[in-house]
Structure 1
Amino acid sequence: MALALRLLLAFLAIGSCIAADHIDLWPMPKSVSHGTQRLYVSNNATMSMAGSKYSDGKAILKDAFQRMLDLMKLNHNADGANPSSSLLTGVNIVVLSTQDELGFEVDESYNLTVPTIGEPLHAQIEAQTVFGALHALQTFSQLCHFEFTSRLIGLNSAPWMISDAPRFPYRGLLIDTSRHYLPLAIIKGVIDAMTYSKLNVLHWHIVDEQSFPIEIPSYPNLWNGSYSYSERYTMSDAIDIVRYAEKRGVNVLAEIDVPGHARSWGVGYPSLWPSDSCREPLDVSNNFTFKVIDGILSDFSKVFKFKFVHLGGDEVNTSCWTATPHIKEWLNNNHMNVSDAYRYFVLRAQKIAISHGYEVINWEETFNNFGDKLDRKTVVHNWLGGDVAPKVVAAGLRCIVSNQDKWYLDHLDATWEGFYLNEPLKGINNTEQQRLVIGGEVCMWGEQIDASDIEQTIWPRAAAAAERLWSPLEQIAEDTRSATSRLSRFRCLLNQRGVAAAPLAGDGRTAPYEPGPCVRQ
């Protein structure tokens, strides 16, 4: 479709949707109703926790509430005089669980009510866990806007009654710090933007063949494989990222991709290479290889507390194994061919991870080659074929969907409409098997991005997938035109919040088409 025609259709869709309703929330809640009254949020709005069992000892809600106020003001000076009526004095948050440990399948549901009567008048949030309450605050922030005439935060279409919960427990975004280094501030900015669209897993593809930027105390020479002395992460940096994410309801999934994609490991420990002239995959015949993996995962277990670790296992070219005399001899002595050795390596790495308390995620090649041999708790990460997820769940294993033709952000010809329409349960009709699809993930591979362009490459296309993963299937429009206005406004909201989200029209990372208002881009 020509760009000019797509812009016209998008603008028409925006106009028709605004005329029909005023629900501009993203992602769309499970259940939402509203009225027609305008309210204002007090300049001195406060958070209360009357009736809550949760004490907020870590200040998770306190900090989130202040962030929400700052987001609603959008750096404007909200110095207007508070009106004598129709004034929301704050938000009362009731959290029913005392626990605040973020984990997989934590209850993220919430109820949000914004009334028009009451004294004092305040919004009410009820959630089973603090993490559901965080999502409710994000939704509340989208109901509000800075009003230039009154210099106050306005809230239209009250009263609001919203009941919400995610469709999938795993809603991920992959970042790649091995192809280009990403500064800590950029990673934290990605995490912040994830929370706006309710994504909850940051998949940190930390190392690869090009660089090994993270400190491993057990094997300190590994980060000799970094690009430079300044392009590294200390273990303290990793702890900081994990804590920053957890306070925002985001898990951090760490990945080391073995046995392929690991050439950088040998810069610090050359014996990990099959030979100096043939440097990957890692030497399967060398016990030191598995001692290093054990050391890495031991150190990871002290930092990355998410129940899963990602061990890769994709794109393994075994030619170095047969071309290296001592490995070829080892294969012969153990009556293995290279396919056997590939399976041996993956399964041995899985056992090491399990010994450190992890459950394992592997890329789909491991399933395609020896799925019946994988640990039964393995989560298979689909990225190649659209028909793989049905096969995985039919075999009784869990699956994460990231099919590259739809959910790879580095594919700049992939439009937001394709991200939005990609259904993780396609071809899976059995209810029990559907439950084995734990969610999906959009992947921002780093070959063509760095700190200068990562945000506009991720957003708003990742947000399109986020609604697919959060909202009930019946809320997902099969005709993307009906979603265009909401996503366009959400993209503009991201821009206002300091996120360099690209225009909707055109392909990924496109430039604005012409002068005009944000929602028309």
Structure 2
Amino acid sequence: MPFGAFTALHLLLIALLFSGVLLPAGGRKRSGLRRSTVRLDDSSIYLWPLPKQYSHGSQTLTVDPDIALEARGPGGSSAIVSEAFDRYKNLVFKQQAGYAGGDHDIAKLIVVVASENDTLQLGVNESYTLYIRGASDGGRLSIVSEVSIEANTIYGALRGLETLSQLCIYNYDTKTIEVHKAPWFIQDEPRFSYRGLLLDTSRHFLPVNIIKQVIESMSYAKLNVLHWHIIDEESFPLEVPTYPNLWEGSYTKWERYTVEDAYEIVDFAKRRGIHIMAEIDVPGHAESWGVGYPALWPSRNCTETLDVTKNFSFEVISGILTDMRKIFPFELFHLGGDEVHGDCWLSTPHVKEWLNQHNMTTNDAYQYFVLRAQDIAIAHNWTPVNWEETFNSFGEKLNPHTVVHNWLGPGVCPKVVAKGLRCIASNQGVWYLDHLDIPWEDFYTSEPLEGINVTSQQELVLGGEVCMWGETTDTSDVQQTIWPRAAAAAERLWSSIEATSAGGLNDTVLHRLQYFRGLLNHRGVPAAPVTNRYARQPPIGPGSCFSQ
């Protein structure tokens, strides 16, 4: 995939030349860059993503480090809620050492959840209302403030807890956690039900703890689907009990995921309100499959694509899906279907003969394979997701429940929804994180509903997904490459179109994103500077992290 005309090194050298930092040979001097001075505007709102509706006052309230949780409603006592409360309490109060004693305005959080059902399905209600009552008595802060989060589901409560945590700010002078601009009243809900991030663990293996770190950071931006691209032609790292030799296709025996690992990741994600959508990409991108089962290859010279002529290919797919269905409860399953090259089939004598016998072209065989794989997924009670090539090649034949995943460019989702199918937007020109030359502004301004003006068709766009393909990322740089650009898309997917488009790309948006990047850094997420000309590029000189 193209990374632009300049390498990161070229851009860094240019920046250093213009800044005067490069030194003559043998010389050393202090950097000529002047330290920037940052003044965070107290009149601004530093929430990310921006809530749908909110109002606020001008009071400052202090928060008790021993703040207590009062659970109400059928779902308020859920373990997921109480664990999240403890998690956010730790985030807010463990970043600094030492807190001032004495009375505090906020000592209790009331969480009211209407439903005890913890099923995490597509479109689960994530709305919430957050209320922080002012603590004033004749102008003096003497009445304890009340803070409450009300939600229909536990997952709405999780989103409310994230917003509340962003309102809590440490005051270094008084050594207290404060909430500014009280009273607050926030009514919030996501614009799209699907707000995803693809993570590729085939091109480079990512340990389980790194996947968990990515999931944790996703919850801070209110993303809610991890598209786990587990397998590709380079490696097959996942254990499949029905076909135990498949993970012989892993890079090494130390770069694998056990069934228990996958269960752990799914459970970890659920407790943060995040779905895991798994993918096996068929019939192309399958070279790693044949390492353990060579019969899946059409021949030793044709290993990229699964053998369309053999029932064994479909038996293995069925076995994989049978085992995966026990692990992944999310109703969407990604079957890939992109970049299938028929020349491999045509160059294999027995496949070419089979095509002639069935009066098929390679495109017919491609359609046959995709539709048969869809039938297998549907038999396992999954809704199939396929990359857009399937729609471009034989859209009329796809199962009517198919979700088409755009990636090649703009203008695809309007065609998909016009045919009555659902769509996920991931235009590579604006939402591919491995394209390091795409700035955050392009991520922010990309609109999933562009070109779709009919309300009934707009409702068929589930949302969008930023894609972290793994050719040039591994444990050392994956988080820096994801953040903060993924957060720019996250606000587009969560916040209302009026909120994200009314002011355009002004300084307010930039300052809020810089602040959110700083928040990620404080929470241990190594997000790169916002204003990079080339993603994940480190700072080129001294300065505040809130201005770069």
What TM bracket, shorter-length normalisation? Answer: over 0.9
Query: What's the CA shift for 1:76?
Result: 1.6
Residues 3, 468 of structure 1: alpha-carbon distance in 2 compared, 3 angstrom cutoff: farther
2:529 aligned with 1:503, yes or no? yes
Q: Aligned runs of 1:120-159 on 2, under 5 Å?
A: 120-159=144-183
Match of 1:490 among 507, 516, 532: 516
Distance 1:3 1:505 in 2: 13
The one-letter amino acid paired with 2:488 is: A
User: Is 1:206 equivalent to 2:250 in the alignment?
Assistant: no
Q: Is the 8 A contact 1:43 1:82 kept in 2?
A: no
What pairs with 1:147-226 in structure 2 (closer than 5 Å)?
147-226=171-250
**Per-residue Cα deviation, 1:62-97 (whole angstroms, up to 9, x for no partner):** 1100111111124322431033xx510021000011
| Other-structure match for 1:94 | 112
Quickly say closer, same or farther: Cα 1:160–1:133, change in 2 above 3 A.
same
Counterpart CA distance in 2 for 1:481 and 1:367 is 40
2:280 matches 1:256: yes
Q: Residue 518 of structure 1: CA displacement?
A: 1.0
Which of 367, 373, 385 is 1:343 aligned to?
Answer: 367
Q: Distance in 2 between matches of 1:480 and 1:260?
A: 43
Would you say 1:53 and 2:77 are equivalent positions?
no
Deviation at residue 120 of structure 1 after TM alignment? 4.6
- The answer to whether the 8 Å contact 1:73/1:145 transfers is no
Contact 1:171–1:201 (8 Å) recurs in 2: yes
Partner of 2:128: 110
- Kindly state the Cα deviation for residue 479 of structure 1 after the two structures are TM-superposed: 2.2
Matched, 1:405 2:401: no
Say whether residues 1:32 and 2:62 are aligned partners.
Answer: no
CA distance in 2, matches of 1:388, 1:150: 54
CA contact (8 A) 1:113 1:161 kept: yes
Mean alpha-carbon deviation: is it higher for 305-314 or for 117-126?
Answer: 117-126
Q: Take 1:78 and 1:218, find their aligned partners in 2: how far apart are those partners?
A: 54
**Contact 2:75–2:117, Cα closer than 8 Å, also in 1:** yes
Is 1:512 the counterpart of 2:539? The answer is yes
Q: Tell me the alpha carbon deviations over residues 108-139 of structure 1, each in whole angstroms, 9 at most, x when there is no partner.
A: 00000011239653310000000000000000
Q: How does 1:442-521 map to 2 (within 5 A)?
A: 442-477=466-501, 478-506=504-532, 507-521=534-548
The number of aligned residues is 510
Identical-pair percentage = 54
Letter matched to residue 74 of structure 2: K
- Counterpart CA distance in 1 for 2:129 and 2:102 is 27
In structure 2, the residue matched to 1:77 is 97
Q: Determine the C-alpha separation between the residues in 1 that align with 2:120 and 2:15.
A: 43
Deviates most, 490-499 or 325-334: 325-334
The match for 2:63 among 41, 61, 71 is 41
TM-score, with structure 1 as normaliser: 0.95
Q: Which moved further from structure 2: 40-49 or 305-314?
A: 40-49
SS state at 1:438 partner: strand
Quick one: which amino acid aligns to residue 482 of structure 1?
Answer: T
Distance in 2, matches of 1:3 and 1:441, equals 32
| Post-superposition offset of 1:29 | 0.2
SS at 2:480 equivalent: helix
Query: How far did residue 385 of structure 1 move?
Result: 2.1
Quickly say closer, same or farther: Cα 1:231–1:253, change in 2 above 3 A. Answer: same
- Return 5+ residue gaps in structure 1 as ranges: none
For residues 152 and 18 of structure 1, the distance between their equivalents in structure 2, rounded to whole angstroms, comes to 20
Give SS of 2:430's match.
helix
Q: Report if aligned partners of 1:200, 1:249 keep a CA contact under 8 Å in 2.
A: yes
Letter of the 1:44 counterpart = D
Provide the residue aligned with 1:66 in structure 2.
86
What does residue range 312-331 of structure 1 map to in structure 2 within 5 Å?
312-331=336-355
Query: What is the distance in 2 between the residues matched to 1:79 and 1:443?
Result: 41
CA contact (8 A) 2:334 2:384 kept: yes
Deviations 1:159-182 (A, max 9, x none): 111000000000000000000000
Query: Do structure 1's residue 18 and structure 2's residue 41 form an aligned pair?
Result: yes
Q: Which residue of 1 aligns with 2:139?
A: none
* Aligned-partner residue type, residue 65 of structure 1: F
Query: Match of 1:434?
Result: 458
Q: Aligned to 1:80, what secondary structure does the other structure show?
A: coil
Query: SS at the partner of 2:41?
Result: helix
Q: C-alpha displacement at 1:22, in angstroms?
A: 2.5
Which letter does structure 2 place at the counterpart of 1:203?
H
Give the CA deviation at 1:387: 1.0
Quote the offset at 1:152 in angstroms: 2.0
How many angstroms apart in 2 are the aligned matches of 1:501 and 1:78? 26
CA offset at residue 480 of structure 1? Answer: 4.2
Contact kept in structure 2, 1:74 and 1:497, CA below 8 Å = no
Letter in 1 for 2:182: A
Give the distance between the partners of 1:163 and 1:82, measured in 2 at CA.
32
Counterpart Cα distance in 2 of 1:451 and 1:54: 37
Listed as ranges, the gaps of 5+ residues in structure 2 are 1-10, 19-32, 137-142
Change (3 A) 1:54 1:126: same
**Is 2:268 aligned against 1:244?**
yes
Instruction: Give the distance between the partners of 1:312 and 1:151, measured in 2 at CA.
Output: 52
CA deviation string 1:177-210 (max 9, x = no partner): 0000000110000000000000000000000000
Residue identity opposite 2:542 in structure 1: P
Shift of 1:98: 1.7
Alignment of 1:257-276 (within 5 A): 257-276=281-300
Q: Please state how far the C-alpha of 1:156 moved relative to its aligned partner.
A: 1.1
